[in-house]
Amino acid sequence: MKALFDNLSRKTSKMVTNAYSTSFSLGIRFLAKKFHNPIYAIYGFVRFADEIVDTFHDFNKRELLEEFKRDTYKAIDLGISLNPILNAFQEVVRNYNIDRELIDTFLYSMEMDLDDRNYDQQLYEKYILGSAEVVGLMCLKVFVEGDHDRYAELKPYAMKLGSAFQKINFLRDYKADTEHLGRVYFPQLQFSQLDEATKVEIEADIEKDFAMGYEGIKKLPKDARFGVYVAYIYYSNLLRKIMEMPPQQIMQNRVRIPNNEKYALFFGSYLRHSFNLL
């Protein structure tokens, strides 16, 4: 009975999301219930691809990613996969008409992480497009529920918000990326360490992305708006915390927001939303 397997696949994506991201899981809870499973499915797909290139160091990561790509496209074409994560994802792709180009672009950015490279501005923008902006567009496809005009209107805002989130991740994970993965994404830091002037420059760029992303949140359908706003609040506070830290501290420690602070942020977001302050 395929309905039973499909339900198991959706639950598996939710389990993956809960295991890997407390913040993202909480954000999803503030979306309308109809969006929960589709967004869990998108996150599960993205998380698995990211795990291949980030953590499976004792295995042939290139081969694993190629197999994952083949299985992804096969699942979409057939409308089924024995991999529960891909089965849940293909259902969302087919139900919400997620463009194959978005998937291609995302998977190419994962391939970029397989090789050591110096990121000039062009490669940096290409990586952010694939690793973050198109993921935001996949979610937007779900949120607009087939409204092509609204998707076109909100597309640039969703891309900027995804870009801001990813750039904050780069700063948050600077120590792990440089020491354990040998990656430096910011073009300004290819041949030098993070200093105060460069940090301020990067932060100003993120703030510009955030400003446009916030305008887009206000234009989202009501059923999606609060959940995305919660993610925005989390990342904006993470950025604020980063801005208060000296460069040396960022290079030595991963920046975190403790769970009790996250819950306080989300409660404050709920009050703001309830009083129509968003």
The yes or no reply on domain 2-274 and CATH 3.30.930.10 is no
* CB-CB contact of 190 with 119 (8 Å): yes
pLDDT one-digit tens code per residue, 193-210: 899 999 999 999 999 999
pLDDT in tens, 212-222: 999 999 999 99
Distance of alpha carbon 201 from alpha carbon 276, whole angstroms: 33
Alpha helices in 96-221 (DSSP H): 100-112, 121-128, 134-144, 148-172, 174-179, 196-219
For residues 30 and 226, the answer to whether their CB atoms sit within 8 Å is yes
Q: What is the pTM of this model?
A: 0.92
In this prediction, residues 180-199 reach a mean pLDDT of 89
Percent pLDDT > 70 in the chain is 92
182 backbone φψ class: left, alpha, beta (φ>0; ψ -120 to 50): left
Q: What are the residues whose beta carbons fall under 8 Å from the beta carbon of 144, sequence distance 6 or more? A: 150, 151, 154, 221
For the stretch 126-157, pLDDT in tens is 999 999 999 999 999 999 999 999 999 999 99
Identity (one letter) of the amino acid at 88?
A
Q: pLDDT tens digit string along 221-233?
A: 999 999 999 889 8
Give yes or no for residue 259 having a pLDDT over 70: no
Which has the higher per-residue pLDDT, 177 or 110? 110
Mean pLDDT of 92-104: 98
Give pLDDT, residue 275.
44
Domain boundaries defined on the chain: 2-274
Question: What sign does the dihedral 251-27-165-101 (CA atoms) show?
Answer: positive
pLDDT confidence of 25, banded at 50, 70, 90? confident
